[in-house]
Amino acid sequence: MNLILLGPPGAGKGTQAKELEEGHGLAWLSTGDMLRSAVASGSEIGRRAKAVMERGELVSDDIMIAMIGERIGRSDCARGFILDGFPRTVAQAEGLDSMLAQEGRSLDRVIEMRVDDDALVDRISGRFSCTACGAGYHDRHRRPRIEGVCDSCGGTEFSRRKDDNAETVKTRLAAYHDQTAPLLPYYRKRGALATVDGMASIDEVKQQIAAVVEAGDV
Ligand code: ADP
Ligand code: ADP
Ligand code: ZN
């Protein structure tokens, strides 16, 4: 099963992708995490992406398409993958379609997570995550069960993202509405789109997504 989680920054894509990875054995592919590793390692791509990410703008389509193309070819994606944060433009969606078609693969579902802009600012400003496994937490909405210890992996180191600040969030939301929202009609037209209420609790959203996934192929 190959899925896309589509939604604005802070919608809960990473939170639900992690659940799907653990519950369904799908590979969780977060382009944001891939880019942050590239920045941390100081690679050529990281050097090109760093300032763009700090401003909250989008990294170029050619970099992103090449990055995801390399990633979905790896063996852990053979059983299926969840794309979190990709595609973010129509050009990226078209690039993905042609890569998958070349390999005789296809998308099963595109799941839109709908969340109000006001709630996104609250979610992003309280977000932190486990450095070891990427599990996401929130100062008020989702604290680790044992204070200071990751529920998923037992890790004890957490980090906050540099771009999770009020100023950058505005630019990221604008990028979503201008460049990413056009993907909704793109996927709706082919009958692949399912929408869940991302304003609901983490557990309720998880159940809504499970219902879509269990309904099977389109
Ligand atoms: P969020 O989960 O808050 O939406 P991400 O971690 O997905 O944020 O992305 C962080 C930043 O990385 C984005 O603001 C953007 O600069 C860059 N980025 C991630 N994925 C893409 C993509 N598919 N296309 C262009 N830029 C991307
Ligand atoms: P995205 O990957 O779409 O940017 P995240 O999964 O990182 O979003 O979630 C953003 C923040 O909101 C995190 O701190 C997460 O713990 C929290 N969160 C996720 N889903 C919900 C929800 N349904 N209700 C309340 N908080 C949530
Ligand atoms: Zn962890």
- Cα(53) to centroid(ligand 1), Å: 7
| Tens digits of residue pLDDT in 59-75 | 999 999 999 999 999 99
| Pair 22, 152: CB distance under 8 Å | yes
Residue 201 alpha carbon, nearest atom of ligand 2: 23
> Over 90: is that where the pLDDT of 215 sits?
no
| 159 phi, psi to nearest 5 deg | -140, 160
- Cα(100) to centroid(ligand 2), Å: 29
Q: Which ligand is nearest to the CA of 121?
A: 2
pLDDT score for 14? 97
- Is 134 a pocket residue for ligand 2 (Cβ < 6 Å)? no
Mean pLDDT in residue range 125-142 = 95
Average pLDDT, the chain: 96
Residue 205 alpha carbon, nearest atom of ligand 2: 23
Mean pLDDT in residue range 80-103 = 97
> Over 90: is that where the pLDDT of 217 sits?
no
CA 65 vs CA 53, 91, 92, 100: distances in Å: 17, 9, 6, 12
> Over 60: is that where the pLDDT of 16 sits?
yes
pLDDT score for 166? 87
Question: Residue 147: is it exposed, middle or buried by C-beta count within 10 angstroms (0-12/13-18/19+)?
Answer: exposed
pLDDT score for 123? 96
> Over 70: is that where the pLDDT of 218 sits?
no
Distance between CA atoms of 155 and 133, rounded to whole angstroms?
8
Distance between CA atoms of 69 and 72, rounded to whole angstroms?
6
Nearest CA to ligand 2 atom 12: 123
> Over 60: is that where the pLDDT of 19 sits?
yes
> Over 70: is that where the pLDDT of 173 sits?
yes
